[in-house]
């Protein structure tokens, strides 16, 4: 079962790469990362686009919507999620490699 990971970003260029790498390193591989950026003015988008080219599970939603804050940005992302399992992800997190595996097991 695919898990949708929703990441709301804004000026996260300093740390988003480490979070994306922690997602790619998950032991549970059946996930999709949906990212919506709140019109950052740093290198957040270029970092995301680089990883989007490397991993087809990463999807950047580019719709020029200005959410005006993390909570509205996450709510906006929910519109794009199609899977039964959803987890929210902060751009400055670093996840333990088995986080999604444990979530998936708990759901079953």
- pTM (two decimals): 0.95
Compute the mean pLDDT over every residue in the chain, rounded to the nearest whole number.
Answer: 96
Print burial letters for 51-82: b (CB count within 10 Å at least 16), e (below 16).
bbeeeebbbbeeeeeebeeeeebbebbeeeee
Q: Which two tokens stand for residue 17?
A: 């790469």
pLDDT digits (tens, 9 = 90+) for 12-48: 999 999 999 999 999 999 999 999 999 999 999 999 9
Q: At residue 108, does pLDDT exceed 90?
A: no
């Amino acid at each position: 079962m695919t898990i949708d990971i929703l990441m709301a970003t804004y000026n996260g260029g300093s740390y988003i790469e480490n979070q994306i790498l922690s997602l790619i390193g998950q032991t549970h591989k059946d996930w999709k990362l949906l990212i919506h950026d709140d019109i950052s003015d740093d290198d957040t988008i270029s970092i995301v686009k680089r990883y989007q080219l490397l991993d087809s599970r990463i999807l950047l939603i580019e719709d020029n919507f200005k959410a005006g804050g993390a909570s509205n940005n996450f709510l906006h992302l929910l519109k794009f999620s199609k899977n039964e399992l959803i987890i929210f992800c902060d751009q400055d997190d670093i996840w333990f490699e088995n986080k999604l595996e444990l979530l998936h097991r708990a759901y079953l």
